[in-house]
A and B are shown apart, each in its own frame.
Chain A
Amino acid sequence: MPKSRTGEKSPSGGMGSRKRKLLGFLAEMDYRKMITYPLAVFILALILVAVNFPPLGIDLRGGVVVTAYGVDANPDQLARELSQRLGVEVRVESFTGVDTRGVRVYAPVGTDPTDIIKVMKEKYPNAQYTHSEVQPTFGEMAQRQGIKAIVLAFIAMAVVVFLFFRDPVPSMTIIFSALSDMTIAIALMGIFGIELTTATIAALLMLIGYTVDSNILLTTKLLRRKEDTIEEAYLSAVSTGFTMSTTTLGALLVLWLISTSQTIDNIAIVLIFGLLADFMNTWILNAGVLKWYLSRPSRGGSS
């Protein structure tokens, strides 16, 4: 294991080596462990998805939602009050942004959103209201389309990855880690109760792009390496990858904090889940597979 080389003239030498030390343990890990741990996480995520699939948002399931901005209320109390007045079971959740607070009121299909607004206006006349309403039939259509979009995007991604690497093991690993990222992100959505909506489907699709980024980086660095050893190439890739993910995560976090739009919020949070999962899948799982793949005794002839 080559020691990191400090004291270079390079402007980033100091920071780079510190990061390398920090991430060095990954380079030394046994590849069997690197493969089995993420696989275990993947299977756990699969089970979680099976038993606790994220709730469907109203745009996929159908229903009514009224959003009131500039309302500061106890959601449970408001829900009780509204349910009583309207005669239908409503659910209320509150949200906060940088300069506004508000509540979202969810009601079943067939409720007239203007009725909800009328009742709310008595209590909060100065709030700003928006509402949306989706019929179950349209929700079903959106669901079908969402599934189709994810499957097709995934296949397209797989084909392109194959075309670029022309090597089954690394390609399959990239594809598998994208699959695992998505599964883990969905499992985390289930745990945190984040709804599956058209927006979060968009986020899952975005995830394909992001995860493939880091995986392609790693695979390229290792397969077309110019460094002396696999460890050295790995370290260089992982430090780049670390910079990439932390930057993206930071930007997403800020986005999530500032925005009060549910669309943007949910996209940001799902991407954060996915990027965290991707860190494990790329730099541990994919790296483990590649380590094994590159260090196995050559059987003559290259692929």
Chain B
Amino acid sequence: MRRKTKRLLLSWRVLLLIIFLVGSIVTLAVRPLTFGIDISGGVALVAQTEHPVDSKTMELVVDSLQRRLNTLGVREITIEAQGDRIVLVKVANVSTEEQANQIKAVIESQGVFYMEFAGVIFGTGQDIEYVGIYQIKPDNTWVVPFRISKKAAERFARLAYGKKGWPVDMFLDPPANSLMVVPDSVYRLMNSTEFNAEAPEAPTLLERINRALNISVVAYANQSAEEIKRLAEGKEKVVLVDVPQELQAGLEDLNVTVRYVLRKPGETDRQIITRTLGLYGPYAVGEGLTVGEPQQDVQITGRAPDRLTAEQEARKIYTVLKSGSLPVKLTVVGMEFISPRLGKNFKTQALYAGIGALITVLLIIYLHYRNWKIAIPVASTSLFEVIIILGFAALIRWNLDLPSIAGIIAAIGTGVDQQVVITDELLSGERSTRITRRASVLKRMGRAFFVIFASAATTIAAMSFLLVYFVGTLKGFAFTTILGVLIGILVTRPAYAEIAKYLLGED
């Protein structure tokens, strides 16, 4: 009996199961599962371009959306293009409907782009007539050529006359007409010559945005919500940057529109300023542009430490210049908002449902066979299967959403079915030993596995179409079903057959 147990544990099928199981548990421990928006909370938006676009344009659309949504101060945005018309935007940790709607508004609106000099806006997105392909030179300087309208060029020539080295700012979706409340260090930086390019005598960024965009900035010094509301009199909204979060709720209670910008880990003061303002630049004006001659063909140049960074910077500017005049308009065609607290509910519910289903399987199998030696292995094999599927999901960072969980359920369901087939084949082999001609255990198992392979093959064939053809939600469903069925036929089913043979043969 001892030796039999040892042989069971050492059979490769059982070993394989143990390896997978241990591997999955370790994976789950070091790399927790990630969940989809419908479970963890957040907002998922499906946007559609007004007409099909090629993959290059699609890339541009995705890039520009990413930049513009970043200025909203939300965390964890994923933007994904699907096919030639659909853009999927998922934002985790969105806590209010208002915030969700803000995101929707950004997607549906054209990017608002401003070019500003010395506190005067001399051009908008409409003034950009053409953006050329950027070039990277061998010494890692980059150039993005573009053409501005005649009107903008004339205005700029007048403004910049004799002001060599002064800063030119470009803004994409800045929080115009607002009050910004920032930490003291940020305030001081904005009020310094940090953003003045090569001209310390030029007005500071603080003055420039105040004049051009009507953004006032105050340093946070424990003001109350009421005081801030008073300061924001006549402004459209209050932008809170890296200040205590309670302030947001306080202001919202006073019916003030608030945007909260959270400092990302490791983000410097300069970075948080440029991100909040949607600021690109400042760029120093070259001498050729300060002689009073209007020039429509201009370029932005920069230098980076290496080629990759140069490429990234050039690409960023290219996208921003194009954003104001994106070739296609996006409409949000689908939107789903799940509050994070609810998401937590779903998670515990899924857990209860899973445990409940497993216990039901255990009990029903027991009722059928009146034998715990069958019921416990069947139910625990299913449990192992769930663990292995989840382990895989964690390993490849698959976002578990509700359809994915449905897929796991489907796989487990067919799994139990197949285990019943194996069990019955084994039992009927015993029952008929005396009466009918004896079919060896091996042969009976062969028949059971024919059934199992045939049904697994049909399920996989059917689901793989979904995986390839579907846009959006059903992909997760197809993926976990296929994964579950594969793990079933390759790992858990053979191991179960081995275990069942051992347990039932003993009697």
Interface residues of chain A, those whose CB is within 8 Å of chain B, are: 5, 8-16, 19, 59, 69, 97-98, 100, 113-114, 117, 128-135, 137-138, 141-142, 145, 148-149, 152-154, 156-157, 159-161, 164, 198-199, 201-203, 205-206, 208-210, 212-214, 216-217, 220-221, 224, 226-228, 236, 239-240, 243-244, 246-248, 250-255, 257-261, 263-264, 267, 271
Query: Could you tell me the distance between the alpha carbons of A217 and B454 in the complex, rounded to whole angstroms?
Result: 9
Q: With A138-B46, A138-B334 as known contacts, state yes or no: A128 contacts B462, CB within 8 Å.
A: no
The answer to whether B416 touches A244, judged by C-beta atoms less than 8 angstroms apart, is yes
Report A-chain residues with C-beta under 8 Å of the C-beta of B414.
209-210, 213
Q: Which residue of B lies closest to A138 (CB)?
A: B333
A residues less than 8 Å from B368 (CB atoms) = 12, 15, 19, 243, 246-247
Is residue B447 contacting chain A, with contact meaning CB distance below 8 A?
yes
- The answer to whether A263 touches B403 (Cβ under 8 A) is yes
Type the 1/0 row for B463-481, where 1 means its CB is closer than 8 Å to any CB of A: 1111001111110010001
Q: In whole angstroms, how far apart are the Cα atoms of A237 and B360 in the complex? A: 23
B403 touches A98 (CB 8 A): no
Contact A134 B333 (CB under 8 A): yes
Residue from the list B417, B457, B481, B485 in contact with A164, Cβ < 8 A: B457
Task: Tell me whether A152 and B416 are in contact (CB under 8 A).
Answer: no
CB of B342 closer than 8 Å to a CB of A: yes
A-B contact pairs, 18 of them (CB 8 A): A128-B345, A130-B338, A130-B342, A131-B337, A141-B471, A148-B469, A164-B454, A209-B458, A209-B463, A209-B481, A213-B418, A213-B451, A224-B447, A247-B417, A251-B358, A254-B360, A255-B357, A261-B346
Q: How far is the CB of A108 from chain B (nearest CB, A)?
A: 15
1/0 per residue B342-382: CB within 8 Å of A? 10011001101100111111011100111101100000000
Task: Give Cα A137 to B369, complex, Å.
Answer: 52
Cross-chain contact A100 with B345 (CB below 8 angstroms): yes
- Asked whether B341 is an interface residue with its Cβ less than 8 Å from the other chain, the reply is yes
Q: Given that A11-B507, A129-B339, A236-B428 are contacting pairs, would A153 and B353 also be in contact in the complex, using a CB cutoff of 8 Å? A: no
Chain B residues, CB < 8 A from A240: 420-421, 424
Q: How far is the CA of A149 from the CA of B462 in the complex (A)?
A: 9
The residues of B that contact A264 with a CB separation of less than 8 Å are: 350, 353, 402, 405-406, 409
Given A208-B462, A259-B349, also A11-B364 (CB < 8 A) = no
Contact A260 B349 (CB under 8 A): yes
Kindly list chain B residues whose C-beta atoms are within 8 Å of the C-beta of A253. 360
Q: Which of B387-445 contact A (CB under 8 A)?
A: 402-403, 405-406, 409-410, 412-414, 416-418, 420-421, 424, 427-428, 430-432, 435-437, 439, 443-444
| Complex Cα gap A114–B337 (Å) | 11
Across the interface, do A11 and B504 meet the contact criterion of CB distance under 8 Å?
Answer: yes
Contact call B461/A157, Cβ cutoff below 8 A: yes
In the complex formed, the residue of A with least CB distance to B406 is A267
Question: Nearest chain-A residue to B473 (Cβ)?
Answer: A198
B483 close to chain A: CB less than 8 A: no
B93 interfacial by beta-carbon distance below 8 Å? no
Q: Are B402 and A263 in contact, with the CB atoms below 8 A?
A: yes
Q: Are A202 and B360 CB-contacts (below 8 A) given A132-B335, A132-B336, A209-B410?
A: no
In the complex, B502 has a CB within 8 A of chain A: no
Q: Are A248 and B465 in contact (CB under 8 A)?
A: no
Which residues of A lie under 8 Å from residue B5 when comparing CB positions?
none
Chain B residues whose C-beta falls within 8 Å of the C-beta of A209 in the assembled complex: 410, 414, 455, 458-459, 462-463, 481, 485
A8-B431, A199-B406 known; A157 vs B353 contact (CB < 8 Å): no
B353 touches A255 (CB 8 A): yes
CA distance A221 to B428 in the complex (A): 12
**Which residue, A13, A130, A226, A251, has most C-beta atoms of chain B within 10 A?**
A251
Q: Which residues of A contact B466 (CB under 8 A)?
A: 149, 153, 205
A131, closest chain B residue (CB):
B337
A157 and B458 in contact (CB under 8 A), knowing A132-B334, A206-B410, A250-B360? yes
Q: Among B334, B352, B447, which residue has its beta carbon within 8 angstroms of that of A98? A: B352
- Find out whether the CB atom of B369 lies under 8 angstroms from the CB atom of A261: no
Considering residues A138, A148, A246, which has the most beta carbons from chain B within 10 angstroms of its beta carbon? A138
From B353, B421, B436, B443, give the contact of A244 (CB < 8 A): B421
**Residue B130 lies at the interface, judged by CB distance under 8 Å to chain A:** no
Contact B370 A248 (CB under 8 A): no
Q: How far is the CA of A124 from the CA of B495 in the complex (A)?
A: 53
Cβ contact within 8 Å between A130 and B337: yes
**Contact status B357-A149, CB under 8 Å:** no
**B450 interface residue (CB < 8 Å to A):** yes
Q: A214 to chain B: which residues have CB within 8 Å?
A: 417
Contact indicator B370/A14 (Cβ below 8 Å): yes
**Which chain A residue has the least Cβ–Cβ distance from B97?**
A114
- Contact residues in A for B299 (Cβ distance below 8 Å): none
Instruction: Please give 9 more A-B residue pairs, beta carbons under 8 A apart, in addition to A209-B463, A240-B420.
Output: A10-B430, A97-B349, A130-B336, A132-B336, A206-B481, A217-B451, A247-B361, A251-B357, A251-B364
A1 to B406, CA, bound (A): 43
Establish whether residues B371 and A12, one from each chain, have CB atoms under 8 Å apart when the complex forms.
Answer: yes
Residue pair B458, A160 in contact (C-beta under 8 Å): yes
In the complex, whether B323 has a CB less than 8 A from a CB of chain A is no
For A236, the chain B residues whose CB sits under 8 A away are 424, 428
The answer to whether B290 has its CB under 8 Å from any CB of chain A is no
* Residue of chain B at shortest CB distance from A266: B406
Report B-chain residues with C-beta under 8 Å of the C-beta of A97.
349
CA distance A153 to B463 in the complex (A): 7
Q: In the complex, are the beta carbons of B333 and A135 less than 8 A apart?
A: yes
Bound Cα distance A10, B506 (Å): 11
Which of chain A's residues have a CB closer than 8 A to the CB of B406? 199, 202-203, 206, 263-264, 267
Q: Contacts of B374 on A, CB cut-off 8 Å?
A: 11-12
